[in-house]
Amino acid sequence: MAIKYGRPIELREVSRGTGTAVPHALDLTVRPRRNRKAEWARRMVRENVLTTDDLIWPLFLIDGNNKREQIASMPGVDRLSVDQAVREAERAMKLTIPCLALFPYTDPSLRDEEGSEATNPDNLVCQAVRAIKKEFPEIGILCDVALDPFTSHGHDGLISDGKILNDETVAVLVRQALVQAEAGCDIIAPSDMMDGRVAAIREGLDRAGLLDVQIMAYAAKYASAFYGPFRDAIGSAKTLTGDKRTYQMDSANTDEALREVELDIAEGADMVMVKPGMPYLDVVRRVKDTFAMPTFAYQVSGEYAMIAAASGNGWLDGERAMMESLLAFKRAGADGVLSYFAPKVAEKLRAQA
Ligand SMILES: NCc1[nH]cc(CCC(=O)O)c1CC(=O)O
Ligand SMILES: [Mg+2]
C-alpha cells in the first residue's frame, strides 16, 4: 500500500458500497472542504500564525529635529529625526513589537571613500540608539553593519582599483559594530557579505566585554533588484557605482546559501537571515530545516514598494496582501521578519484580537 504524507491513500479506493442519501452527490469519503466550512473550523486547523512577536521594524534616520521626510519609492515610510524615532519606539512598545532596526541617511558632506562616519561613536545611528534606549530600555535594537550608508561610492566595503577589499573592510566593520554596541545596541546585524566578518565581530565584541550582544548575520543575502527603494531611502542609489555582485549572492543559487549560513553559524552568529524575503522563501525553508537556528527573513524595500504601489492604485487589497505576505514567511519556517509593514501589521493584529 502506498503511503503518502503518512496516510494510506489506497483505502479510499475500496468501494464503500453504501452510496449517499443525497441525490447527485459524489460518493466521496474524503472532502477537504469540511475543515474550511466556517471561521471557527478554519481557526481550529490553522497551522501557522503571525503575531507581533514575529516583527522587527526597520526605521530610517535623518539628521535634524522634529523632522519627517517622505521617501517617494516607499509610500507610508518616512526618514525620521532622532526625536521622531523615539516616538516610533514608543509606538512599537505599545504595539508589543519586540525590536527596531536602524538605518541612517548620512548627510552627503559626511560621506567619504572609506565610510569613516560609520565608526564615529556619535553618528546618527549611535545617537538614535542612545536616545531610544534612554526612554525605552525594554525595546530591542538591531543595527546594520555595512559601509554603504557612509561611503561616497555607495558600496558596503572599501574599494581599491575598483575591487572591494574583503579583509581591510572587515577591520572597519569590527570598529563599526563596536561603536554601535557601546551605544547600547542589542543585536549587531552584518549585512555587508564580506567573508569572515562574523568571527571578527564576535571576537571584537567579546574582547570589549560585550558578551551579551547578539549577532544576526545577513547570512544569505542576494544581489537583488528589490533593494532599490532602500537605496533611495539612505541616499546611496544615485552614487552607487556598478553593482554588488562580487559580494552579494547570485540569485540562481541555494546550496551556496547553506554554505554561507553554515559558516556564519560556525563563526558565532546567534541568528541568521535570508534576504530578500518573498522571492527567496525556498531558501528560508532550506535554511530552517537544515540548521534549526533562529531564522529571519527580510521583506525588503522593493517588496514593500510593490504591495504599497499596487494597493495605492487600487489593484490589490493592500491590507490583505500585507498579511498574506507576512504569513508566508511563517509558513516557510521563519521565526521572524524585518518588515516596513510592522506597525501596520501590529495594529491590524491588535484590532483582530
Ligand atoms: N548593506 C546595506 C543594506 N542593508 C539592508 C539593505 C536592503 C534593505 C531593503 O531593501 O529594504 C541594504 C541594501 C544593499 O545591500 O544594497
Ligand atoms: Mg558569508
> Which atom of ligand 1 sits closest to the CA of residue 149?
2
Alpha-carbon distance of 294 to 278, in angstroms, equals: 18
Alpha-carbon distance of 65 to 332, in angstroms, equals: 41
Q: What percent of the chain has pLDDT over 70?
A: 95
pLDDT digits (tens, 9 = 90+) for 193-238: 999 999 999 999 999 999 999 999 999 999 999 999 999 999 999 8
Q: Which residue has its alpha carbon closest to ligand 1 atom 7? A: 227
Helix then strand count (H, E) for the chain reads 11, 14
Indicate if 133 belongs to the active site. Answer: no
Average pLDDT, whole number, for the chain? 95
Distance 186 CA to ligand 1 centre (A): 19
The predicted complex's ipTM stands at: 0.98
Residue-level pLDDT at 24:
86
Write down the catalytic residue from 221, 244, 288, 330.
Answer: 221
- What b/e sequence results for 308-333 when a residue is b if at least 16 CB atoms lie within 10 Å of its CB, and e otherwise? bbebeeeebebeebbbebbbbbbebb
Q: Are strands 187-190 and 55-61 parallel, antiparallel or unpaired?
A: unpaired
Region of residue 79 (left: phi > 0; alpha: psi -120 to 50; beta: else): beta
From the CB of 127, is ligand 1 less than 6 Å away?
A: no
Indicate if 37 belongs to the active site. Answer: no
Distance 113 CA to ligand 1 centre (A): 19
Closest CA to 60 of 322, 304, 308: 304
Ligand nearest to the CA of 200: 2
